[in-house]
Amino acid sequence: MDFKNLTIKSFQEGFRLKEFSALEVAEELFKEIDAHDSEIGAFLSCTKDEAFLAAGKADTLRAEGGELGPLAGVPIAVKDNMLMAGHITTAASKLLEHYTASYDATVISKLKSSNAVLLGKTNMDEFAMGSSTENSAFHITKNPHDPTRVPGGSSGGSAAAVAAGFTIASLGSDTGGSIRQPAALCGVVGMKPTYGAVSRFGLIAMASSLDQIGPFTKTVEDSRILFDVIRGRDVHDATSTDFNYSPTEEEIKKLKIGIPKEYFVDGIAPDVSKGVTEAIEKLKRLGFSFKEISLPHTKYALSVYYIIMPAEVSTNLARLDGIRYSRDVKDVKKLKELYIKNRAHGFGAETRRRVLLGTFVLSSGYYDAYYSKAQKVRRLIQEDFDNAFKEVDVILSPVTPTSAFKIGEKTSDPLSMYLSDIFTIPANLAGVPAISIPVKKYGLGSDELPVGFQLMGKHFHEEDLFGIGELYERE
């Protein structure tokens, strides 16, 4: 049996019917990783021993007639900025290459409690700073559909692992598009929840007012299943909350979809434009009504993001001075020299760029001119979404301006790289949920590169996005 194409739903059906064991699936997926991940580079580390123990536990639970939850025995990979007790957690940075986590992130605890099988930690842009997974301190991840191209970032390893069939699902983090953008480029489903829907406890912080953890899956249905396990209030994260919104399928079919005119502009690649148009036409055939809307402050979103995000990066990474999370720097005679050498050697170029930019915008004399003003414009962007959702229920847009670009194509031009997130950043600034869905199913080896479309919803209305997405997939 080919386990590479299993979804969470089909795994659970076969597992319950005893068509295979969880251990059998885990063993086969590790064989696949061992044989082919050297070509893709999706993983930074694998946790085989723990995975086999967890798979055996799920098999025993099934044999004893125990209650099998929705993720029992399901293989899942995790982005390497989420702490897993007893395992190295690097955030793809040399500064943390020897750091062993002392506790589990809340999402890891929830996966373990649900008897999921954790396969290992996936590659990423260093400290989640990038849109291509070329900024990892360890290796570049490649797109399974075309290894000469990037998988997107910063959660490129998590997206590639699902697209390549190394895992059934994975977790990533999204600060400005780091789940949705790689999902679109790799042809999988990637979902950023509402800010506060999923606990950030145990996530190595990049920009605390923007970060969210979310799922990569092969289907929208799987995305809902995984999200339902990791969501909810956590006493360790004051921004997290419980919520309950469960529309019926009939209510979903009556939702009105908005098309923001600011997102459909010159500069979008023809294949992306064609793909998103296909998705819109398909949704119209399903009976959904559409309305053109305006999000007038969208043009400022990229600028606002690249002020607020680096400011929070500068603050969050100040704790990484190379002492508690130590690196070996020889011939150091003064404490200040130790700080300088550790951070200079430990941080990559993109991380240094953002720390310097963030320190600048927070510095005396510039705080009001940059950071304070950016926060005011962020409020206007949030109000745009509030006003739009008075007219429509869901907003549809492209995910990225282009499909997957060539490795090395944008590394010398940071601004061009930053523009990869131009359609995803507003949802983070507003804190609303958003999902990237493949326009159609692309098999590996297809001549076409994957294209995704994005749905954005009201706060804590993830079910609207799942509902529309499932009807789209069913069609």
The number of folded domains in the chain is 1
* Mean pLDDT to the nearest integer, 363-384: 95
Neighbours of 196 (CB within 10 A): 20
Among 4-18, 102-116, 335-349, 355-369, name the one with the lowest average pLDDT: 335-349
CA distances for 407 relative to 142, 143, 200, 323, 420, angstroms: 8, 9, 31, 34, 14
Q: How far apart are CA 27 and CA 22, in angstroms?
A: 9
Q: What does the pLDDT look like over 157-173, one tens digit per residue? A: 999 999 999 999 999 99
Q: In terms of residue numbers, what domain contains 166?
A: 1-475
Q: How far apart are CA 213 and CA 197, in angstroms?
A: 9
Neighbours of 49 (CB within 10 A): 8
* Mean pLDDT to the nearest integer, 356-367: 93
Neighbours of 461 (CB within 10 A): 21
pLDDT above 80 for 444: no
C-beta of residue 422 within 8 angstroms of C-beta of residue 258: no
pTM of the model: 0.96
* Domain at 126, CATH number: 3.90.1300.10
pLDDT confidence of residue 442: 62
Q: What does the pLDDT look like over 30-72, one tens digit per residue? A: 999 999 999 999 999 999 999 999 999 999 999 999 999 999 9
Q: How far apart are CA 187 and CA 363, in angstroms?
A: 42
Catalytic residue set: 79, 154, 178
CA torsion 310-150-194-166 (nearest 10°) is -130
pLDDT confidence of residue 83: 98
Instruction: Using DSSP, state whether 122 is helix, strand or coil.
Output: strand
Neighbours of 384 (CB within 10 A): 22
Closest-CA residue to 428 (of 191, 223, 174, 226): 174
Closest-CA residue to 296 (of 418, 385, 400): 385
- pLDDT-based confidence at 258, cuts 50/70/90? very high
C-beta of residue 96 within 8 angstroms of C-beta of residue 89: yes
pLDDT above 90 for 2: no
pLDDT confidence of residue 475: 84
